[in-house]
Amino acid sequence: MTLVKMSKLLSPIRDNSYAIGAFNVSNMEMTMGAVKAAEELQAPLLLQIAESRLAYSPLSVLGVDAGCGTQASVPVAVHLDHGTTWETIEMALKLGFTSVYVLMDLNIR
């Protein structure tokens, strides 16, 4: 399976028959562990990466390719959680993140 948009990940569960795990990851080991567990359970996965964690691991390390989103055998969405700077949000989108949560008003028009 390849990386999927958040809407594709969430739309099958409209009947509330199951939930999708969303895990905040702050390093590559956590990311790989979450993906491995999801694959073992054959469950879709949402990886969340908070901008506040980027001091420990760069966005490109935790991002889409490094986050196994394009290599996982289950559907994976990658979300930038609490983006606070335009530079980080722009980088996440360029890296292929499937969704972004903007924490503050960035005067985006």
Residue 64 lies in a domain: yes
Instruction: Give the start-end residues of each E strand in 1-109.
Output: 21-24, 45-50, 76-83, 99-102
- Identify the segments of the chain with pLDDT beneath 70: 1, 63-70, 104-109
Q: What is the pTM of this model?
A: 0.83
> What confidence score (pLDDT) does residue 38 get?
92
Residue 80 lies in a domain: yes
Q: Which residue range forms the structural domain that includes residue 39?
A: 6-102
Catalytic residue among 15, 65, 81, 105: 81
Residues 6+ apart with CB under 8 A from 19: 13
**Residue 81 designated active-site:** yes
Residue 108 lies in a domain: no
> What confidence score (pLDDT) does residue 36 get?
92
Residue 33 lies in a domain: yes
The domain tally of the chain equals: 1
